[in-house]
């Protein structure tokens, strides 16, 4: 007979908008699963840029979502709602959640959970949902990347970047990426990038033009914004597409729209967290069919930077904000 669930748990609260030090362990009530959700005993939770933005007061959780940060978890199902059909108590799952991941227990919609791939640790599994759901929905669904096309992703050693490089290569694209040091560029090349550009020493637009005789790239995934908007337009091929995922350098103050018109470009954007359960469920089903086999045979893998105990969430955020990380940062709960 299993032990009864506790009534309270350790979770990471945000005491006020601010720096990493506002992340503080506190006691919260263990959430109850809804009609079609499972309650997961969390063993690991991924750390992502939206968590940092939420902590700073710039990205509030959607209506009805937990105010506890954390968008991806891995652990074991401990109880389930009456309408759940996919999962049993004891199943090992990784899930995309709207919030609540930085805690010992977290509820997840059954359709937005996936099995922990064979051969992966719980920490590695927790590094999957946010980046893999995001990359699939932006690069392949919204961006329409096809085999044989040239794909540019900025920030190649971020969680999004390392995932995008591997998935784009696995599905037959030529991959170009940017990174902030020669060492990081070498990591990108090891992951399969055909060209890795140190943006601190090289103009990436000129490097791309030199690499493919001035043709440019078919699809760009950008998280930078700012002056990169026009640079991405200049680096694009005729009829190219740009998907804006974030604007870490702020909005663009001035762009030349003539470039957009003359080159017949499509510049679109996407955010994942506010999308409804059905949207995310469709991505989950596609990932299970097309991507999970690649994880299980180690064609692709989550690139791990570091693990921190849950109580050290502030240190994990400081690590992320240093931009020194390569791959995913994960929080782990005590056994």
CA distance 276 to 27: 29
pLDDT of 252 above 90: no
Helix (H) or strand (E) run with residue 210 in it: helix 204-211
Handedness of CA 113, 116, 121, 125 (dihedral sign): negative
Indicate the pLDDT class of residue 271, thresholds 50, 70 and 90: confident
Residue-wise pLDDT tens digits, 68-122: 999 999 999 999 999 999 999 999 999 999 999 999 999 999 999 999 999 999 9
At 176, which helix (H) or strand (E)?
strand 174-179
What does CATH list as the number for 132-269? 3.40.50.720
What separation in angstroms does the CA of 68 have from each of 29, 42, 113, 192, 248? Answer: 12, 14, 19, 36, 22
- Is residue 217 within 8 Å of residue 197, measured between CB atoms? no
| Euclidean distance between CA atoms 89 and 79, whole angstroms | 6
Position 2 scores a pLDDT of 57
User: Between β-strands 217-222 and 113-115, what pairing exists: parallel, antiparallel or unpaired?
Assistant: unpaired
Q: Domain residue spans in the chain?
A: 8-128+273-332, 132-269
Q: Which DSSP category does 7 fall into? A: S
Confidence (pLDDT) at 1: 40
Residue owning tokens 């709960």: 333
> What pLDDT digit, counting tens, does each position of 121-160 carry?
999 999 999 999 999 999 999 999 999 999 999 999 999 9
Contact status, residue 208 vs residue 227, Cβ threshold 8 Å: no
Domain 8-128+273-332: what homologous superfamily? Medium-chain alcohol dehydrogenases, catalytic domain (3.90.180.10)
Mean pLDDT of the chain: 95
């Amino acid at each position: 007979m299993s032990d009864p669930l506790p009534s309270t748990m350790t979770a990471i609260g945000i005491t006020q908008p601010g720096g990493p030090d506002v992340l503080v362990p506190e006691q919260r009530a263990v959430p109850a699963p809804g009609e079609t959700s499972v309650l997961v005993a969390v063993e690991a939770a991924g750390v992502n840029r939206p968590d940092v933005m939420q902590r700073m007061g710039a990205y509030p959780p959607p209506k009805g979502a937990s105010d506890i940060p954390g968008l991806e978890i891995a652990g074991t199902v401990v109880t389930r709602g009456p309408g759940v059909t996919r999962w049993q108590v004891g199943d090992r799952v990784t899930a995309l959640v709207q919030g609540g991941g930085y805690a010992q227990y977290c509820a997840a919609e059954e359709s937005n959970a996936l099995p922990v791939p064979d051969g992966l640790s719980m920490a590695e599994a927790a590094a999957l949902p946010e980046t893999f759901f995001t990359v699939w929905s932006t690069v392949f669904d919204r961006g329409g990347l096809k085999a044989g096309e040239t794909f540019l992703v900025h920030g190649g050693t971020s969680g999004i970047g390392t995932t995008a490089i591997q998935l784009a290569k696995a599905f037959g694209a030529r991959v170009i990426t940017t990174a902030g040091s020669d060492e990081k560029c070498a990591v990108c090349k090891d992951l399969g990038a055909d060209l890795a550009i140190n943006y601190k020493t090289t103009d990436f637009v000129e490097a791309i033009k030199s690499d493919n005789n001035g043709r440019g790239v078919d699809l760009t995934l950008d998280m930078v914004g700012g002056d990169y908007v026009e640079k991405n337009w200049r680096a694009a091929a005729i009829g190219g597409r740009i998907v804006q995922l974030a604007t870490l350098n702020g909005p663009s103050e001035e762009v030349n729209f003539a470039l957009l018109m003359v080159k017949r470009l499509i510049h679109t954007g996407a955010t994942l967290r506010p999308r409804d359960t059905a949207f995310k469920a469709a991505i989950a089903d596609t990932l299970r069919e097309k991507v999970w086999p690649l994880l299980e045979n180690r064609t692709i893998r989550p690139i791990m930077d570091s693990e921190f105990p849950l109580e050290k969430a502030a240190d994990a955020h400081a690590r992320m904000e240093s931009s020194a990380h390569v791959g995913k940062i994960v929080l782990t709960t005590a056994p």
